[in-house]
Amino acid sequence: MKQLTILIFLAVVLSGCYKDKFFELKNPPEFPWQSVREFEMAVAAPYNKIFYTGWGGSFVMSDKVIFDAMTDIIYLIPGVAENWPHDEVYYRQTTVRNEIADQCFESAFKAINNINFALDYVEPIDNPDHPFGNIQGNQLTELKRQIGELHFLRAFSYFHLVMRHCPAPGSSGFSSANIIPFRNQWTFNTDTMRQPPLASGRKVIEEIVIPDLQIARAYLPLKYTSSNHASYQFGRADQLAAYAMSSRVFLWLKQESMGYDPWDSAYIYSDYVITNAAAGGHDLSEEPIIAFSRSTATLAKEVLWEGIFYDTEYPHTPKDATLFTWNRYAASSGWPDYTPNVPYTTTNDSLFLLQTRNNRCTWHTYCMSFETAKYIDWIDKTDSSQTLNAANDKRYKQLYLRVDPVPTDILNASIWKLYENKTPWVLKPQIWCHKYFRGAKGDYSNVPVIRLPEMYLTRAITALGSTNHKNAGLALSDINVIRARAGLTALPGPVTEEDIHKERIKELAFEGDRLLYLIAIGQTKDSDGVKHNGIPPGDRTDRTDIPLGDARLYWQLPLTETQFYE
């Protein structure tokens, strides 16, 4: 009976399986992007590598610290010993392996690899065998927007790689030193992956960055509309971001012999951003703090592009900012947009100071150099007191803090001052950055990447220094727009380059702009009027100016990358 049961069971099972169709997959493996809508996942993926990798916040935030800390405007607070290569960065010890620079390199190329794979899948658009078929109308417009966004992100990533790892424009090494892996296409070839063609900084800029930005400017919309994918609304690059990034790149190229004046292009692109800012929803009508105090989807009007960190379901705070800002990353504020008086006098100012003391980061490493504070007239040269220019400047009041050394007699301490009580080696007043983690929930605060004031400052300097767009009147007007928003009186003119240099420091210090700008202008002056070529020493003792092509200004590639080249 048992054998009969088994035979009947086998007969039933086998009779149901005699057709080959039983073994055919009803849902065979398919490519993850079957439509323009699904391709949005490919566009969003590089943002994770650009903004949300690692403890520090990927290369966007890490480079803000590195690119400023290598220059004259930053001071390394004596006595600090944190788990970050602060000494190596400050003293430009680029022959020493820098794990932060290594991580930045890796994050950028992870983004680039994602981008290359996606672009190879959808380009060219007019391919008769296009994976999405013969799309038309809004679908085609959306695909172009996605392609433009990918090209923008690749240009942005490669620009940071060149700035961090290649000799500066104007030096012979910018054209001759083949350093950066040149990857503008996806490859499955293991030999090419292990030994990629290496390119100079100039080749990467001319053959990847500039063409990518050209496509981005052509394909990206001026701003988000309801016809776009819903995820495109916040934190994503648009046409104005592409024009602004183009302006930044060509400003930086000034010292290089390109066969044309790069500042002519920088002027044109910054002018486009300013002219079309209102149509894109941007202006300078808000207080300076608003750009840094957003921890929700409500965006600041002056911000052209930013990293969004307000998502409580995906916390990924860019913690490297703690190296040079007052607040700890978990700071909190009951009134993030509060604008204190300076000097502090009111009850609300007292509450602001109490909250500020409670929010201090204990491993803060860098502040503004004393030399720079004197240069921009925020600290008096003679008695180190707070100047009237500082007290009247909204940026100083809202985005910076004056921190005094602890008085010898503690009885002379004032409740209306902040003191450096962590290290006894600080003997001069300091200006600290207070831009980051300023939202109601500090660790969810958005981080601006490109702001509208930068475009005014770029148009101003190029209006003075470009070949074909000289306009001193416009340069003065642009600087006075920035000063008016900061609550300052207008300069009477004529405007000088030094006027613009100083306003740029006040506006963009601690945002990673200084190294780029010094490379662009080639020389500057200090608070005593002494001219410096290249990168000035700032507060560093026994240091001289660093020429722009010096190896101390660019970092080695990671050993994990170069060991494959051998």
Domain definitions of the chain by residue range: 42-285+554-565
Question: What pLDDT score does 551 carry?
Answer: 95
Question: What pLDDT score does 8 carry?
Answer: 56
CA atoms of 35 and 143, how far apart (whole Å)? 10
| β-pairing verdict for 400-405 and 303-307 | unpaired
Residue 74, C-beta contacts closer than 8 angstroms, at least 6 positions apart: 68, 90, 324, 366, 367, 368, 369, 514, 538
CA atoms of 145 and 44, how far apart (whole Å)? 12
**pLDDT of 396-434, one tens digit each?**
999 999 999 998 888 788 999 999 888 888 889 999 999
The class (CATH top level) of 42-285+554-565 is: mainly alpha
Residues in the chain predicted with pLDDT less than 50, given as ranges, are 18, 22-23
Cβ(146)–Cβ(114) under 8 Å?
no
Q: Tell me how far CA of residue 320 lies from CA of 59, 309, 427, in angstroms.
A: 10, 14, 26
**pLDDT of 14-61, one tens digit each?**
555 545 554 455 555 566 788 999 999 999 999 999 999 888 888 999
Question: What pLDDT score does 298 carry?
Answer: 79
CA atoms of 133 and 530, how far apart (whole Å)? 64
Token pair of 548 as six digits? 């722009």
Q: What are phi and psi of 544, to 5 degrees?
A: -115, 180
Which of 288, 290, 260, 229 is closest to 40 using CA atoms?
Answer: 229
